Amino acid sequence: MTLDHLKSSLKPGFYAGIVALFISVIGMIETFSNRDIIHGVFSISHTFLVIIALITGYFSATRAQRAGIRQHGIDRRAEVVNAIAGSLIAGFVMGLFLAVLVVVANLINLRPVFVNVTPKLIDLLTFGRPSLAGSIVPLSMFTIVSGLGGALSLFRSDIRRLIVTSLLWFAFAGLISEVIRLSLSRLGVNVARKFVTTRGLTPLGAAVMLALIFAIVYASQRLRDRQRRQPDQSSPARKRAVRFRSWGLIFVLLLVLPWVVGRVPSDVLVLVGIYVLMGFGLNIVVGKAGLLDLGYVAFFAVGAYSTAILTSADQLPNIQLSFWAALPFVIGITGLAGLLIGAPVLRMRGDYLAIVTLGFGEIARFLALSDWFSPVLGGAQGVVKIPNVVIAGIELADPEELYYLIMFFCLITLFISWRLEGSRVGRAWVAMREDEQVAESMGINTIYYKMLAFAMGAMIASLGGAVFAVKLNTVFPFSFSVNVSITVLSLIIIGGIGSIPGVLVGAFALVGLPELLREFDEYRLLLYGVAIIYMMIVRPEGLLPSVRRGRELHEDEMAQDAWGKPAEVIPVPANPELSG
């Protein structure tokens, strides 16, 4: 291995070691050890470290292969040697950071400086051997795991994709083992205990889950490959029928979902639905119109407080409406608030717009806390005694019942967003987002469409606020901090700005998963930041980007060759008949 190969391997190992050391000393490893992927065998904290080592080994192997190809050309034997050697070196460097931590923690008490470097952390890193000799454990383990990541880079792309996808889904199943346990408990407590415990999957459950996931991923991959080789020649009517049956199956699954997963996951699904509504609204403002709004929580708060004031008997004398009677007023009031906030910022763009809207969001929270509006808004005590939603004499109080209310609103906003996608209004927003001056020169009334975007985004957010108010039966000003706006903006960035499916994926990833895993709550903002940085560097278009957004972000890459150099422009010869 040459010096270039060594450098290409040391850098990923160095970065991975810093990351592993950082999440260890801030307490993430110890906190996540309370839950297991496989009970008594593998914890979530060990899973994090193993994933870091696998990724490190894979990237160091690919870097070493590229360095070898540039020097020696394509040689399969040299490629294998470079890949394995590079990944082992990177894993050794990563393990060295943790081994040094173990050695220093055994010699010096680090807790006065790093309070989270506890005996339990050292025990986790050394797998029960918290002595000086135990430092060999992380060194050897992560070297081996990184080598496995490097070996993975040598597999064919389809086999590699099958292995990686199956393992990721298996890790996800371990993360949501509590939901699986609650679902299986409906079949019988003894059945659930065989496969899942309160701490994770049993070894039997892990084996069954891994085999099931592997079979599903393999079947879906084969089906996708067959469709790619043999395009569907069905008639348009048959394709529509297949699409209709698929959507029908998804709708049926959504209908029975709360009664399958149970009460606690249903409550999480309601919260996810609230953020999906806000995501759809902010996706119009940011994703379509290109208006960076950091004070979007203000519309959510107006919707919640409007619902609370109009439905609670203690706020306005002689005025108490039902939820459905108050809903049109709530939407109208919040839409008016969107116009009032949008009007002063019509001429602002970019960072200036973001800062001003952030200020409006904070103003809304402080107004709710002020003494001026306390007779109506309740001040710090908020508004209480908000009645439940009633449909046909049925009171929606439990999460399983509120789920259908939020699903109804989500389907309505999904339909609205889908219809706006290719409409004249949607195209005007996209043109305004790309270049406002060009849009104005083409005759687009940018002031009108900006106000329309703010109003529509606000009205959609009001639905989330209304459901939030009747879900808790109380509304407090402290529920509407700037963190809500950050979360909504983060989920549309990670899911894909301007993408409708991206809003759903982002909400489940950033809201649903942390709610199911309470261990994540302390580090939620840190994980948000890491996820956004990763997406900006690796996949700036998001997990499920819109077609237009994906083309915009990758149009420069299309003009490059395989080595990252600008594609050669082939001159077109002049026509001799026209050249004179």
The answer for residues whose C-beta is within 8 angstroms of residue 206's C-beta and 6 or more apart is 37, 38, 41, 170, 174
Q: Is the alpha carbon torsion for 239, 244, 250, 253 positive or negative?
A: negative
The pLDDT of residue 306 = 92
The pLDDT of residue 461 = 92
Q: Lowest mean pLDDT of 66-80, 227-241, 282-296, name the range.
A: 66-80
The pLDDT of residue 231 = 65
What are the tens digits of pLDDT across the range 166-177?
998 898 888 888
> 258 exposed, middle or buried (CB, 10 Å; 0-12, 13-18, 19+)?
buried
More confident residue, 221 or 76: 221
**The tokens of 61 are what?**
């192997």
> 325 exposed, middle or buried (CB, 10 Å; 0-12, 13-18, 19+)?
exposed
The pLDDT of residue 321 = 86
Q: Where are the alpha helices (DSSP H) in 312-398?
A: 323-342, 350-369, 374-377
Mean pLDDT of the chain: 82
**Cα 88 from Cα 90, distance rounded (Å):** 5
**Cα 159 from Cα 87, distance rounded (Å):** 19
The pLDDT of residue 561 = 40
The pLDDT of residue 83 = 81
Confidence of residue 181 (pLDDT cuts 50, 70, 90): confident
What are the tens digits of pLDDT across the range 341-395?
888 877 777 778 888 888 888 888 888 888 788 888 888 888 888 888 888 888 8
CB 1 within 8 A of CB 85: yes
Nearest to 167 by CA among 257, 55, 265, 22: 55
What are the tens digits of pLDDT across the range 442-467?
888 888 888 999 999 999 999 999 99
The answer for residues whose C-beta is within 8 angstroms of residue 384's C-beta and 6 or more apart is 312, 314, 378, 473, 474
Q: What is the CA radius of gyration of the chain?
A: 27
What are the tens digits of pLDDT across the range 548-565?
666 666 555 444 444 344
CB 422 within 8 A of CB 344: no
Confidence of residue 575 (pLDDT cuts 50, 70, 90): very low
Tell me 522's DSSP state. G
Question: Percent of the chain beyond pLDDT 90?
Answer: 17
Residue type, 137: V
More confident residue, 99 or 66: 99
**The tokens of 67 are what?**
């360095």
What are the tens digits of pLDDT across the range 113-156?
888 888 888 888 888 776 777 788 888 999 999 999 988 888 88
Q: Lowest mean pLDDT of 75-84, 212-221, 501-510, name the range.
A: 75-84
The pLDDT of residue 560 = 45
Residue 333 has pLDDT above 80, yes or no: yes
Torsion over CA of 106, 110, 111 and 116, rounded to 10 degrees?
-80
**The tokens of 277 are what?**
């509504």
The pLDDT of residue 422 = 79
Residue type, 449: Y
The pLDDT of residue 574 = 43
The pLDDT of residue 276 = 93
pTM comes to 0.83
The pLDDT of residue 443 = 86
Coil, strand or helix at 383: strand
Residue 431 has pLDDT above 90, yes or no: no
Torsion-angle region of 386 (φ positive above 0: left; ψ -120 to 50: alpha; else: beta)? beta
Strands 394-396 and 389-391: antiparallel
Nearest to 68 by CA among 110, 16, 6, 125: 6
Average pLDDT over residues 226-236: 70
**The tokens of 286 are what?**
């940011």
